[in-house]
């Protein structure tokens, strides 16, 4: 009954932490492609190849359902995977859907025409690859009209977080928020479009100001997954053991992950 959680590095641990709390009886297998992180500076074909390789490994671990807890993979690879690669008995889901559900206040299964929503000015903070894909804007346009999205590519933030340099990460976040506000002085909402960014959510909120509603993915994804599994219980895979897998150095990755989640995490070689 295992479910796979994939990320290019450690950012997906924010999603893992939330889904474990929401679904304590489900074993999760986490796969971090740390040897190839970050994905945010790679081209779409490279991201696709790396993501399909990782998802195949999670299927081998008994996970019929895999969550791409990596916005870059969701933006650059997911649609292509779902259309041409994922077999009928497997599912691969991304992390944009729960964000758009929350922002537009409508369920993903609602296929009525796009309509106006309360929020008109949205700031999107994401990796360069996610921004260049325009995947978030494309998916949002299927559901809402009249929403102005200003995207800011946050170069360097993921690298700083992965290296544990939170002082540099904070400085970069504040710089990127300043750059965004020069383009959109008064956003009503902000999307943290990378699963690393919840670790800096308080910094984003402080830099944006108290009047901006900040949408972070972890809890939204957890609720969406719980609802999905209620509707599709057959998608719980055959795996029975929770695990942490990495393409990087297991000892080093375990140390970083333990710092992130403030509990002991032991990775094994993928």
What residue ranges do the domains of the chain occupy? 3-94+218-269, 97-216
pLDDT digits (tens, 9 = 90+) for 185-196: 999 999 999 888
Question: What CATH architecture applies to the domain 97-216?
Answer: 3-Layer(aba) Sandwich (3.40)
pLDDT of residue 260: 83
124 contacts 193 by C-beta, under 8 angstroms: yes
Please say if the pLDDT value at position 108 is more than 80.
no
192 contacts 198 by C-beta, under 8 angstroms: yes
pLDDT of residue 73: 93
- Which one of 3.40.50.1860, 3.30.1380.10, 3.40.50.1820, 3.90.1720.10 gives the CATH number of domain 3-94+218-269? 3.40.50.1860
Sheet holding 189-193, edge to edge: 148-153, 121-126, 189-193, 213-215
Rounded average pLDDT over 166-180: 97
Confidence of residue 104 (pLDDT cuts 50, 70, 90): confident
pLDDT of residue 153: 96
58 contacts 239 by C-beta, under 8 angstroms: no
E strands, 50-143, in order: 65-68, 91-93, 115-116, 121-126
The mean predicted confidence, pLDDT, of the chain is: 92
The binding site for substrate comprises: 7-8, 39-40, 71-72, 195-196
Q: How far apart (Å, rounded) are the C-alpha atoms in residues 23 and 42?
A: 33
Higher-confidence residue of 208 and 95: namely 208
Confidence of residue 259 (pLDDT cuts 50, 70, 90): confident
pLDDT of residue 113: 86
CATH topology identical between 3-94+218-269 and 97-216: yes
DSSP per-residue letters across 131-199: HHHTHHHHHHHTTEES-EEEEEE-TTHHHHHHTT-HHHHHHHHHHHHHHHHHH-SS-SEEEEESTTGGG
Rounded average pLDDT over 202-224: 93
Annotated catalytic sites, by residue? Answer: 70, 194
pLDDT digits (tens, 9 = 90+) for 223-242: 999 989 999 999 988 888 99
**For the ranges 13-22, 81-90, 217-226, which has the lowest average pLDDT?**
217-226
Confidence of residue 255 (pLDDT cuts 50, 70, 90): very high
Please say if the pLDDT value at position 217 is more than 90.
no
pLDDT of residue 41: 85
For the chain, give the percent of residues with pLDDT over 70.
99
Rounded average pLDDT over 67-82: 92
Confidence of residue 109 (pLDDT cuts 50, 70, 90): low
Query: Is this model's pTM higher than 0.75 or not?
Result: yes
């Amino acid at each position: 009954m295992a479910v796979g959680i994939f990320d290019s590095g450690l950012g997906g641990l924010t999603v893992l932490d939330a889904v474990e709390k929401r679904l304590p009886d489900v074993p999760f297998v986490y796969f971090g492609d740390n040897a190839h992180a970050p994905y945010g500076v790679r081209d779409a074909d490279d991201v696709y190849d790396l993501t399909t390789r990782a998802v195949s490994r999670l299927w081998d671990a008994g996970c019929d359902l895999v969550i791409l807890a990596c916005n870059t993979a969701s933006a650059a690879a997911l649609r292509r995977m779902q259309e041409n690669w994922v077999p009928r008995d497997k599912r691969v889901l991304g992390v944009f859907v729960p964000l758009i559900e929350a922002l537009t206040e409508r369920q993903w299964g609602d296929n009525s025409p796009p309509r106006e929503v309360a929020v008109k000015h949205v700031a999107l903070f994401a990796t360069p690859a996610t921004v260049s894909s325009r995947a978030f804007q494309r998916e949002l346009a299927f559901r809402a009209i009249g929403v102005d999205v200003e995207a800011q590519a946050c170069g360097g933030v993921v690298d700083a977080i992965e290296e544990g340099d939170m002082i540099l990460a904070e400085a970069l976040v504040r710089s990127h928020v300043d750059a965004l506000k020069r383009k959109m002085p008064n956003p009503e909402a902000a999307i943290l479009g990378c699963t690393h960014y919840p670790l800096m959510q308080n910094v984003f909120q402080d830099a944006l100001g108290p009047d901006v509603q900040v949408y972070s993915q972890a809890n939204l994804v957890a609720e969406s997954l719980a609802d999905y599994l209620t509707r599709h219980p057959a998608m719980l895979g055959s795996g029975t053991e929770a695990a942490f897998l990495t393409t990087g150095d297991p000892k080093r990755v375990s140390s970083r992950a333990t710092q992130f989640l403030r509990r002991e995490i032991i990775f094994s070689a993928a």
